[in-house]
Amino acid sequence: MAVTVVFIGKLADLAGEDEREVAAPLSWSGLAGALGDDIAAAAADERIKIAVNGKVLADKTSLSAADGDEVALLPPVSGG
Amino acid sequence: MAVTVVFIGKLADLAGEDEREVAAPLSWSGLAGALGDDIAAAAADERIKIAVNGKVLADKTSLSAADGDEVALLPPVSGG
Amino acid sequence: MPRDVQLLEKGFSPGKALGLFAKAHPEAGGIASFVGKVRPDGDVKVLQLISYDRLTLPGMETLADEVETRWTLDGLLIHHRTGHMRPGAPIVLVAAAARHRRDAFEAVDFAMDHLKSRSWFWKREKRGDGWHWIEPREEDHEDAKRWDV
Amino acid sequence: MPRDVQLLEKGFSPGKALGLFAKAHPEAGGIASFVGKVRPDGDVKVLQLISYDRLTLPGMETLADEVETRWTLDGLLIHHRTGHMRPGAPIVLVAAAARHRRDAFEAVDFAMDHLKSRSWFWKREKRGDGWHWIEPREEDHEDAKRWDV
């Protein structure tokens, strides 16, 4: 009954790790409870995107991850 | 007392050789006498350029080559 | 169209990859290419490119799809490093083989512009005073915008 | 700026030349290049490029001067064949090393457009029915005109 949350770049620095397992289901409103206020606040920044299983959400507040899903928090890309 | 005339591309086909020595001096009006009517007629085509010692003449009728000069008759370039 | 899109975790030789690419496309009239390297600027000691499995390579494939749609090519190669690189190391190689020169040029130019500003990479540099996150240069965004219709 | 402009009478390996060029410019952030080959089209058996000593290489040097004036480069390479070539053989290699990608791209693009339409070469093809003189394609002229200010 877990969701894997992947932290990329600056957000991994903030989280202190590259990924974390949290209890399913995970919704936008449950982010602070699952990951802490700091990360939830960072995720709220308009430049941060969220992907579920490799699909970037057009509206991240629609986040709804179930058991086995992988949720990634994505800072702005730097390019190659 | 000679001018070397170099024929390039189609003009070498017409002349039947790559170059020819002709008597110096060589002027535009003396071209037919020195090279024959066919080549002089071809040289008159507006797309044909003339270079003297590697310098392309802006006005080929100003041709005035002296002993030791190299005159080249240049068809339109094909590009590399 | 045969294509070769790779996300590489180790160093590579662009010259060798280009040689193989040319051999694989004897029918092409021309091959345009670009090699991007870690610039030996200032006091950058290491560059780290971070990729995300679920997005980075799939994004490169999507880019290749778009290139193929826009231009008529005989072949396309996109190789991009991830991980830690030292100054002077190659980061990216893009090559396009085409019958017509302009197609090959534009395909490489377009792919590079998109890789530099819109691809799924995150970057940081280690300098004398530690690690710094890098965001794309405004110039790179402008380059990519040239292609937006 | 170090540059390497050559008119070659024998076959050459663009991959090898590019590898040496990259080694010679470790400081460059990127290298753009283009390799043009004899297209294995139709029934062309041999392509002959004719050059004229007093104009062809000097013209290539003048082109290199112009490229250097227009763009900020770390290095420039222009190698062009003359003589007889078979289908698939390389005719031309242009490479530019630069700090900025756009400079490298535009320098190569510009040099190729000029080499293809305005350089001092005359060309003929041997087909099944003999030799045919070739004039530049209208497309090549148009490409070169893009740069006229």
**Which C-chain residues 69-88 have CB contacts (< 8 A) with chain A?**
80
Asked whether residue A80 is assigned to any structural domain, the reply reads: no
- pLDDT-derived band at C41 (thresholds 50, 70, 90) equals confident
Span C84-142, pLDDT tens digits: 999 999 999 999 999 999 999 999 999 999 999 889 999 999 999 999 998 767 777 78
Count of domains in chain A? 1
D-contacting chains (≥3 CB pairs under 8 Å): B, C
**Domain encompassing residue D33:** 3-145
Quick check: C50 and A74 CB within 8 A? no
Span D55-80, pLDDT tens digits: 999 999 999 999 999 999 999 999 99
Quick check: C37 and D28 CB within 8 A? yes
> What are the angstrom distances between the C-alpha of C122 and each of A12, A77, C39, D28, D59?
11, 5, 17, 22, 45
Q: In Å, how far is B26's CA from the nearest CA of chain D?
A: 19
A-contacting chains (≥3 CB pairs under 8 Å): C
Asked whether residue A29 is assigned to any structural domain, the reply reads: yes
Span B17-42, pLDDT tens digits: 999 999 999 999 999 999 999 999 99
- CB burial of C47-60 (b: ≥16 within 10 Å; e: otherwise) equals bbbbbbebbbbbbb
Span B52-62, pLDDT tens digits: 999 999 999 99
Read off the CATH number of the domain in which D15 is found.
Answer: 3.90.1170.40
Radius of gyration of chain D from its Cα atoms, rounded to whole angstroms = 15
Nearest CA in chain B to D36: B80
Residue keyed to tokens 């949720």? A71
Asked whether residue A79 is assigned to any structural domain, the reply reads: no
- pLDDT-derived band at C148 (thresholds 50, 70, 90) equals confident
The C-alpha atoms of residue A21 and residue A24 are separated, in whole angstroms, by 9
The C-alpha atoms of residue A20 and residue A17 are separated, in whole angstroms, by 7
**pLDDT value of residue C2:** 86
ipTM > 0.95 (yes/no): no
Q: Which of A48, A69, A77 should be substituted to probe chain C, the one whose Cβ sees the most C Cβ atoms within 10 Å?
A: A77
Q: Which of D49, D52, D80, D115 should be substituted to probe chain B, the one whose Cβ sees the most B Cβ atoms within 10 Å?
A: D52
Radius of gyration of chain C from its Cα atoms, rounded to whole angstroms = 15
**pLDDT value of residue C149:** 65
Quick check: D54 and B54 CB within 8 A? yes
Given CB atoms, is B58 within the 8 Å cutoff of chain D?
Answer: no
Mean pLDDT of chain A: 95
Span C26-39, pLDDT tens digits: 888 899 999 999 98
Count of domains in chain D? 1
Supply φ then ψ for residue D102, to 5 degrees: -60, -40
Span D9-60, pLDDT tens digits: 999 999 889 989 998 998 888 999 999 999 887 789 999 999 999 999 999 9
**Which A-chain residues 30-49 have CB contacts (< 8 A) with chain C?**
none
- pLDDT-derived band at D149 (thresholds 50, 70, 90) equals low
Read off the CATH number of the domain in which B19 is found.
Answer: 3.10.20.30
**Domain encompassing residue A35:** 2-74
